Amino acid sequence: MYQKNYTNYYYKRRGTGDGSPSAGNFGNGMGSGTKKAVKHFTDLEVYQKALESSVFVINEISKKWIQKTAKLSDLEKETQGYVVKNMVALACSIPHLIAEAHSQRFGTGEQSLLTLDKVMLACNKMVVYLDQVRDICETGLELSQFEEQIKKYFFIRQKVLNLQRVWRKYIEINKQSNQ
């Protein structure tokens, strides 16, 4: 028998019925529709998407902005630099917070739920920063690239909310079984 954890405790068949694997962390490539076991935080789709987004923010937005700063006044550089600097720091913190929450769930679990709240807040802030950088800073990037990133952060936020709900159920069940 497998060890019960938050990924397989509430087994639900999510296959499409036609033998194809499901979306997300479901499917083992064989069409069974079962959830893949999450052994490390790097296995979480939400971590992978957050990391992908942070790399985009650093490699595309901040580097392109730095290239365009030569023609800006000192006040514009300072103002825009503040926004870009905070956005980069926040984008880098989201994957770290997800990793932190994954580790904290092995304790009482309550701290992991609070950390996931911080991740959702950070995703909302990232949307604001992306809007600001798009409208204020001259990055030379297409508007569609900003819109794609904004959609990605909303996706991450929803996935984190779903993860939080699953972890909350798992924590409650563990509390009941330990009593």
**pLDDT bucket at 3, cuts 50 / 70 / 90:** very low
* Cβ–Cβ < 8 Å for 36, 45: no
Task: Domain 41-178: give its CATH architecture.
Answer: Up-down Bundle (1.20)
* Helix axis angle, 110-136 to 143-178, nearest 10°: 170
Residue ranges of the chain that CATH labels 1.20.1440: 41-178
Beta-carbon neighbour count of residue 171 at 10 Å? 17
| Segment 36-87, tens digit of pLDDT | 777 788 989 999 999 999 999 999 998 888 888 878 888 988 888 899 999 9
| Segment 4-21, tens digit of pLDDT | 443 433 334 334 444 444
Whether residue 141 has pLDDT greater than 60: yes
Which residues on neighbouring strands pair with residue 122, listed in sequence order?
none
User: Quick one: pLDDT at residue 33?
Assistant: 55
| Distance separating alpha carbons of residues 101 and 118, to the nearest angstrom | 10
| Distance separating alpha carbons of residues 160 and 119, to the nearest angstrom | 7
Nearest to 21, CA basis, from 37, 40, 35, 41: 35
| Distance separating alpha carbons of residues 147 and 82, to the nearest angstrom | 21
The identity of residue 148, as a single letter, is: E
Report pTM.
0.76
